[in-house]
Amino acid sequence: MIIVWYSLTLWLCSILSSEPITLLPSASDSPVYIHERLLSSVSPSLSAPYQREWKESKSRVYKFLKDDDGFDVTKDLLICFVRWAYIGDYSTEIV
């Protein structure tokens, strides 16, 4: 039990000591934040720009764009995603 707790503590400290990433919805500039290591663990494709020499790696800001079908990534959607990443719950009741 102590080993599991210790491993979990190390993992949590690793995440919380990483730099924050700013996620911007496609239809606004209202930011949502997530730690880089957590983003990497739940979404390798979203963390890819921060692993390479892209403009996002310097600004630490990822701006979502409206897709070809007109789908917007809203702030509420990003809040649900970040909530799920941190605590494993993506309930929309809080938003």
Dig out the tokens for 2 from the structure: 């102590």
Tell me the per-residue pLDDT of 42-91, one tens digit each, with 9 for 90 and over. Answer: 887 776 666 666 666 667 888 888 877 778 889 999 999 999 999 887 77
Q: List 33's β-bridge partners, or say none.
A: 22
- What pLDDT was estimated at residue 6? 65
pLDDT level of residue 24 (50, 70, 90 thresholds): very high
User: Is the pLDDT score of 94 beyond 60?
Assistant: no
Sorted by sequence, the CB contacts under 8 Å of residue 31 that are 6+ apart come out as 22, 23, 24, 61
**Residues 6 or more apart from 92 whose CB is under 8 A from it?**
76, 80
pLDDT at 22: 92
Which of the pair, 34 or 48, is modelled with greater confidence? 34
